[in-house]
Amino acid sequence: MALAAAKEKWKVAIIEKKAIGGTCALWGCVPKKVLISGEELANFSQRMAAAGLSSNTTPDWSELMAFKHRLTRSFSQDSRSRCKNTI
């Protein structure tokens, strides 16, 4: 909305308590899906083992969390750049 208004030459100010980018990208859909993918991997591995099949695929949760932070930080930086370049 702010970007659309700025493109129409309106004076725009953005006040954001935390990082710019929105709930979905930074705290909702995207981080949730990254963490769920780790749980799905662990669950699949357990079901393989329960069926007597060898499986040692377990996620490295600290790596996954670090990836989630990198991903959401890059989304936020992109949003910030778009705002800086437009507003």
Ligand X SMILES: Cc1cc2nc3c(=O)[nH]c(=O)nc-3n(C[C@H](O)[C@H](O)[C@H](O)COP(=O)(O)OP(=O)(O)OC[C@H]3O[C@@H](n4cnc5c(N)ncnc54)[C@H](O)[C@@H]3O)c2cc1C
Which residues bind to ligand X, rule: CB under 6 A? 16, 20-24, 27-29, 32, 79
CB of 48 or CB of 71, closer to ligand X: 71
Q: How far is CA 9 from the centre of its chain?
A: 31
**Residue 21 beta carbon to ligand X: minimum distance, rounded to whole angstroms:** 5
**Residue 13 beta carbon to ligand X: minimum distance, rounded to whole angstroms:** 12
DSSP-assigned states of every residue in 23-47: HHHHTSHHHHHHHHHHHHHHHHHHH
CB of 22 or CB of 59, closer to ligand X: 22
C-alpha count within 13 angstroms, C-beta hemisphere, residue 19? 17
